[in-house]
């Protein structure tokens, strides 16, 4: 006897009318229709990825370490004192005297008082030129050399350095030594009247 595929032994094979009714049911069943205008969307999990408390604490700890390491440098930058403040004020006073001489068309003098440890730019306002200082106080350091036009002047009562409207000036070399034995040399370039500073003393 021939066995019909898909049926086990003992099963009664379907009759012709039953097979016809099954085929008819499949033919009349509506096929799923895909909407061509609707984009294909990939669904993700409803749980979004977020940082854990431990990760946030690690980041905060790293930021705290970086800030703690940078506090001394920031404090030193905004709070000048000693030799650093003296050098900065002297440079600004030189720049203020140079700017006033060029803008006004009149010579300006940088006046030193070595014994008093002071310096100011004549002809400038109390606020100096712009944001630059117009005077300087030599604090926590001593004048080791004050040379103007190749003349040693550190023992004089008053020393004057001239700045000219054409952007030139007298030759000047100032050497300072701090109480903790730090050295600074401030020089004026006679052709540009610009001050320079170095810690190399020759």
Q: What secondary structure letter does DSSP report for 167?
A: S
- 15-26 pLDDT, tens per residue? 555 555 655 555
Give the alpha-carbon dihedral of 199, 120, 152, 168, to 10 degrees. Answer: 80
For residues 128-149, average pLDDT: 81
pTM greater than 0.85: no
The edge-to-edge listing of strands for the beta sheet with 172-178 is: 151-152, 141-148, 172-178, 183-188, 195-198
* Whether residue 34 has pLDDT greater than 90: no
Mean pLDDT of 141-156: 93
CA 122 remoteness from chain centre: 36
Torsion of CA 58, 64, 66, 72, to 10 degrees: -160
Q: Is the per-residue pLDDT at 202 higher than 90? A: no
In the prediction, which pLDDT does 129 show?
Answer: 44
pLDDT tens, position by position, 42-75:
555 555 577 788 989 999 999 999 888 877 776 6
Strand 172-178 to 108-113 pairing = unpaired
Class of domain 82-198: alpha beta
Q: Which residue in this structure is represented by tokens 């005297």?
A: 97
pLDDT tens column, 156-198: 999 999 999 999 999 999 999 998 889 999 999 999 999 999 9
Ordered by start, the domain boundaries in the chain are 82-198
Distance CA 146, CA 20 (A): 121
């Amino acid at each position: 006897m021939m066995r019909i595929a898909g049926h086990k032994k003992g099963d009664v094979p379907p009759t012709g009318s039953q097979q016809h009714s099954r085929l008819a049911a499949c033919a009349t069943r509506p096929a799923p229709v895909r909407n061509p205008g609707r984009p294909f969307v990939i669904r993700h999990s409803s749980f979004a990825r977020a940082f854990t408390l431990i990760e946030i604490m690690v980041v905060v700890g790293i930021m705290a370490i970086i800030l703690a390491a940078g506090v001394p440098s920031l404090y030193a930058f905004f709070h000048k004192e000693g030799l650093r403040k003296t050098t900065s004020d002297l440079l600004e006073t030189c720049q203020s005297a140079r700017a006033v001489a060029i803008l006004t068309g009149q010579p300006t003098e940088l006046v030193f008082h070595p014994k008093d440890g002071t310096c100011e730019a004549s002809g400038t306002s109390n606020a100096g030129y712009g944001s630059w200082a117009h005077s300087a106080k030599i604090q926590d350091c001593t004048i080791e050399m004050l040379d103007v036009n190749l003349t040693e002047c550190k023992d004089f009562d008053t020393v004057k350095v001239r700045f000219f409207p054409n952007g030139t000036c007298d030759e000047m070399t100032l050497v300072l030594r701090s109480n903790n034995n730090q050295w600074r040399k401030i020089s004026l370039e006679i052709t540009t009247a610009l001050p320079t500073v170095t810690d190399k003393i020759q």
